[in-house]
Amino acid sequence: MKNRVGVLVSAGLVRIEEHESPKPREGEVLIKVKAAGICSGDIYAFKGLPVWFTLPAPFGHEPVGDVVEVGPNVTGFKPGDKVIAIGSPAYADYLVAKASSVAKIPSNIPYEYAIGEPLAAIVNVIRVTQPRLGDYVAVVGSGYMGLLLTQALRGMGFSELAVFDIIDDRLKLAKEFGATATVNPTVDDVDKVTKELTNGNGFNVVFEVSGNPNGVDLATRIIGRRGRLSIVSYHSLPVQVNFRIWDAKGIDLVMAVPARSGEEYATIDLRIAAKLLERGVFNQEKLITHEWRLDQLQEALEYASKKPKEYIKGVIIP
């Protein structure tokens, strides 16, 4: 079977190569890709910013598809199973993934709304941050990841679940997904609103999901004494923080990122994500705003790099 693979040759340049489709070896599963999420990490790499892989590289790591073949000693999967996986390269017709990083999903969820790797990341974020019942929780940034996080935090029994962003349409979605309050720092008085929402104490738990140094500053400002600051975003460039305020508030810092959890995120968290997708905790219908074909990968990344306001998350449909 022929297999087209998207390769990021250098900053700003994608090439589609043609290879024979790979064979699953021991413990591996061959997946026919039906949709692959465009990750902001891929966009950073396309823009020439430092990421976790070096160029040239076949890329994309958020595949959804159907199992076509299983390698020796693989149990639990058979051809035809609809699955999410964490594996690369996802911008391709076929990919081979470790069976341990693959999870079955129900057949009624459309492929493009089932993107699973970001959901596993969100599961990981909450399980390592461990917010408690009754906490005053803030989410800084309501892009794709911030909104998914809001969906997952909904119903966990917090005193407040406040979402901060500078785009009002995103805040509207956050409200729909369970935010108890939304704050736009370009319009609202952040200190006053924070005081009102938290009885003057500041937030116990702040998730920084903005991917922007301004978001880190905002998180530093709204967090309360002994608060837990959970860094969810991938920051490609060095960020300057005000240690004097962190010091004064005596905060706890959690790097709630996949690198911290390693294997657990690709295995346990992915399976939890699949279950929560089935339960309707995650719903990506309003989050997937753009779709492109594999041969439009160059165009897709050029568009997404510009961060248009109406763009939340794009997928590649081979």
Return d(Cα 139, Cα 116) in angstroms, integer.
21
Nearest-approach distance from CB 45 to Zn ion, in angstroms? 11
Closest CB to Zn ion among residues 117, 160: 117
Closest CB to Zn ion among residues 158, 265: 265
Q: Does 123 engage in binding with Zn ion (CB under 5 A)?
A: no
Span 170-199, contacts to Zn ion by CB under 5 A: none
Distances (CA, A) of 166 to 140, 178, 222, 290: 10, 18, 15, 21
Nearest-approach distance from CB 144 to Zn ion, in angstroms? 10
Nearest-approach distance from CB 42 to Zn ion, in angstroms? 8
Nearest-approach distance from CB 61 to Zn ion, in angstroms? 6
Residue 85, H or E segment:
strand 82-85
Closest CB to Zn ion among residues 7, 161: 7
Nearest-approach distance from CB 120 to Zn ion, in angstroms? 9
Span 103-122, contacts to Zn ion by CB under 5 A: 117
Nearest-approach distance from CB 173 to Zn ion, in angstroms? 20
Number of residues located near Zn ion, criterion CB under 5 A: 2
Closest CB to Zn ion among residues 39, 102: 39
**Which DSSP string do the residues of 55-78 spell out, in sequence order?**
SSEE----EEEEEEEE-TT--S--
Q: How far is CA 265 from the centre of its chain?
A: 12
Near Zn ion by CB under 5 A: residue from 8, 31, 35, 39: 39
Closest CB to Zn ion among residues 70, 121: 121
Nearest-approach distance from CB 39 to Zn ion, in angstroms? 3
Closest CB to Zn ion among residues 117, 269: 117
Return d(Cα 316, Cα 38) in angstroms, integer.
7
Span 220-279, contacts to Zn ion by CB under 5 A: none
Residue 175, H or E segment:
helix 168-176
Return d(Cα 154, Cα 192) in angstroms, integer.
24
Cβ within 8 Å of residue 305, ≥6 positions away: 43, 46, 47
Span 4-23, contacts to Zn ion by CB under 5 A: none
- With CA atoms as reference, report the closest residue to 316 among 111, 42, 36: 36
Strands 82-85 and 63-70: antiparallel
> Shortest Cβ contact with Zn ion: which residue?
39
Closest CB to Zn ion among residues 93, 117: 117
Q: Is the Cβ–Cβ distance between 147 and 175 less than 8 Å?
A: no
- With CA atoms as reference, report the closest residue to 58 among 8, 112, 127, 100: 8
Coil, helix or strand for 173? helix
Span 60-99, contacts to Zn ion by CB under 5 A: none
Nearest-approach distance from CB 203 to Zn ion, in angstroms? 26
Binding site for Zn ion (CB under 5 A): 39, 117
